[in-house]
Structure 1
């Protein structure tokens, strides 16, 4: 079955520091993860295409990610960053899409999980920026913590023309085994038709040393039930996932978690949803070289 990895990262520490990689627990991530590394992992796991996602709220990163998409053979879409609060956000999006590889830009993400204001997504300037993202034909990836899910729901309701893609199930507290209030908040978000969820990031929310697929299953079952296979997509969250599992383990665990679905439903989670949402109409070579093509 074709697999599209709808969520991974790349970074080169010789180009830019990743300040969030701090402390002994994250020490294994404190090295460069480059395109060649990704291509080796995807070949070994049988992954056909990927979505490269931003890591830091830095304007210079997105042009670099777009250039990587144009350079390699596996990246089929990029979720970048731009300042959603800027008055000229529409012009900034146009500028990104005019760059080399700009045709691969499919979405915008902001590190909302790091914002101290729990209602940041509903600030007037942010909502204006999200409407500009929608007008540009892009999606918005949501990286939020469980307590921020209600704000995400209000924001998605306020901008119904924009597809909101929830990363990492909204980071449920898997290690503790708690289910609420995360599940209630997640179902409220899923009730909106312009929302989608990534089956990603679970192993690093679980106990890194001793997690099992059964630990992940209640949370996966909740999102499968809430969103349905046509609004759910697999993502590895590589290389962050390597804190708890290698790339192949993450791919295999997702297959186990969706084994109860029909073959057609599995195909949606594995590739169909990602290809629709990120407009990856076939292989990565189908991505246009410029926004006008």
Structure 2
């Protein structure tokens, strides 16, 4: 079974999609669109990740969708890590429709300063997520990787999932600096990383598999294939390619559709009970 550990759904009205550069993906993406995309690529299950709306209603909606969509094996919902009532918010989501499919929490840490994960209230939020038995999913910029290393070291009982390999500046060729920043993160056994979102950091119009290859190879070298997960980042990937193209490129760079990266690591990391 192939599992895509990172996909989204959204409507054209999401605020961040109003950027003119994102016109090609500024439309509604529905479950029907998802099914067409994954079936064409031979993918069986997905993890639905919050899509930047930034409110609890999106998580409630996504859990309901997941309940009614067997292809969606779990939901990483949005919540503010600074919310002192975060534990209650998580409990409320779990008590609602589809609540058993909540597998992680993600705040938009990339929107904050480089030391956001060092704040006491943010650390308390990370601890609340871990205490609920959920994954702390993090979407951050490369410059924020040191703060992730500190947070993960301070909370060894929490599983952290790093989205998009920390968003290396692939188009700018920033391989060496990114490797320096991500190495301490990869040294922590409670961090799992997603091979996702890489084409969005490359030159959308001119990228080639060779542009991604050194970043994928570095991730394998530092994390090992036991702590990496395939994630399409659909439909964001459509700024630069197609679902099947991105999945096949990653498989080629890994020497094939590895059962761990393309499936069992997601099951273990998110404690999935596949339907």
CA deviation string 1:164-189 (max 9, x = no partner): 10000101111122213211111110
* Counterpart selection for 1:122 from 102, 118, 122: 118
Matches within 5 A, 1:165-244: 165-244=161-240
Cα distance in 1, alignment partners of residues 85 and 70 from structure 2:
33
Matches within 5 A, 1:6-45: 6-13=5-12, 17-45=13-41
Specify the SS of the correspondent of 1:180.
helix
Cα distance in 1, alignment partners of residues 206 and 267 from structure 2:
33
Cα distance in 2, alignment partners of residues 50 and 141 from structure 1:
15
Tell me the number of residue pairs that the alignment of Structure 1 and Structure 2 aligns.
Answer: 274
Aligned position for 1:89: 86
Q: How far has the Cα of 1:270 moved from its partner? A: 0.7
Q: How far has the Cα of 1:21 moved from its partner? A: 1.0
* Counterpart selection for 2:262 from 262, 270, 273: 270
Cα distance in 2, alignment partners of residues 176 and 241 from structure 1:
18
Aligned position for 1:162: 158
CA deviation string 1:42-101 (max 9, x = no partner): 111110100000012212110011011011120001000112212211111111111100
Alignment TM-score, normalising by the size of structure 2: 0.97
2:101 maps to 1:104? yes
Unaligned stretches of 5+ in structure 1? 286-293
Q: How far has the Cα of 1:22 moved from its partner? A: 2.5
2:133 maps to 1:134? no
CA deviation string 1:222-274 (max 9, x = no partner): 111111111000000000000001110011011111007xx7xx110011111
Cα distance in 1, alignment partners of residues 60 and 19 from structure 2:
29
2:57 maps to 1:65? no
Cα distance in 2, alignment partners of residues 64 and 42 from structure 1:
21
Cα distance in 2, alignment partners of residues 176 and 88 from structure 1:
41
CA deviation string 1:2-36 (max 9, x = no partner): 310000100134xxx31111332200111100111
Alignment TM-score, normalising by the size of structure 1: 0.91
CA deviation string 1:178-206 (max 9, x = no partner): 21321111111010110000000011111
Unaligned stretches of 5+ in structure 2? none
Cα distance in 2, alignment partners of residues 64 and 132 from structure 1:
22
Specify the SS of the correspondent of 1:204.
helix
Specify the SS of the correspondent of 2:106.
strand
Cα distance in 2, alignment partners of residues 220 and 110 from structure 1:
25
Cα distance in 1, alignment partners of residues 242 and 60 from structure 2:
28
Cα distance in 2, alignment partners of residues 103 and 64 from structure 1:
14
Q: If each structure's helix is expressed as a fraction of its own residues, which one has the higher value?
A: 2
